[in-house]
Structure 1
């Protein structure tokens, strides 16, 4: 089941949900709005390789904004640290952002239980779109779990900025 906005508020106050900074004004009926951080990154090369560490660069989004082009994937972190050891967060674009043709998570919207990070969003623009630091870009929902909880302790834990793919680590030691 999905938590309602008032329940998210209660669970943040009890410490079961981690949203930092937290502003109750950003609660919706069943979600919490989050912001784009102040940096965005992209891969430096055109061809990416799953078996190696790909060159990645991070840039500050200027106050006047940055135009995202359709021909690449951008990685950017949420301004807020988000996570829970009790509920499963799922991130999505705000409908106002989606209506501009900006995908906020492409396909990786499920956040593992126990993951506490400035979440990395995979941004993809259908057409050129200008984004700004601290833009209210997406929303997070929280879902109850059934069964034994095994907390995430993976390679992206504790991220404070956008994290490029670490899939190459899956090939190490083979």
Structure 2
């Protein structure tokens, strides 16, 4: 069951949902619009290796914006710290963003319950597109969980900057 916008506001007021900073004008009928931070990163090699820590560069998106180029994945953190130990967040691009050919977090939209962070978004541009720090880029919905709740305590917990993939740690743990 999805929470309505007014219910997101109510649950945030009760401390069951974290959205910080919070702006009432970002509440939609059944979601909350979130923003890009100025923190951005990208991989610096052409071939990424799942078993290795891949070289990664960090920068900031200037106030005048930054052009994202096709054929590259960009990692940007949300301006808001968000999450919940009571509800399951799911994130998507806003339709206005998608209509520019900017894919936002397409393949990993389910956020684990208990993951309360500045989430890392994966951005991919179909054609060159200029993005700006603080722009509304996506929406988060919150869903009621059924069953026993085990809170997320994984390798990305507590992140504030865009986090590159840590999949290589899965290989080390399996050894």
TM-score, normalised to structure 2, is: 0.98
Q: Offset at 1:156?
A: 0.2
Runs of 4+ in 1 over 6 A off after TM superposition: none
Q: Offset at 1:24?
A: 1.1
Alignment correspondent of 2:50: 50
Structure 1 distance, partners of 2:120, 2:30, is: 22
- Corresponding residue pairs, total: 174
Q: Offset at 1:75?
A: 0.4
Alignment correspondent of 2:80: 80
Q: Deviations over 1:76-102 (max 9, x none)?
A: 000000000000001100110000000
Alignment correspondent of 1:143: 143
The SS at the match of 1:71 is: coil
| 1:119 paired to 2:119 | yes
Stretches of structure 2 that go unaligned for 5 or more consecutive residues are none
Alignment correspondent of 1:13: 13
Structure 2 distance, partners of 1:45, 1:116, is: 30
Kept after mapping to 2: 8 A contact 1:106/1:124: no
Structure 2 distance, partners of 1:163, 1:109, is: 16
The SS at the match of 1:58 is: strand
Structure 2 distance, partners of 1:22, 1:62, is: 23
Q: Offset at 1:40?
A: 1.1
TM-score, normalised to structure 1, is: 0.99
| 1:65 paired to 2:92 | no
Structure 2 distance, partners of 1:28, 1:68, is: 27
Structure 1 distance, partners of 2:61, 2:96, is: 20
Stretches of structure 1 that go unaligned for 5 or more consecutive residues are none
Q: Over aligned residue pairs, what C-alpha RMSD do you find?
A: 0.6
The SS at the match of 1:169 is: helix
Q: Offset at 1:106?
A: 2.3
Q: How does 1:14-53 map to 2 (within 5 A)?
A: 14-53=14-53
Structure 1 distance, partners of 2:106, 2:16, is: 27
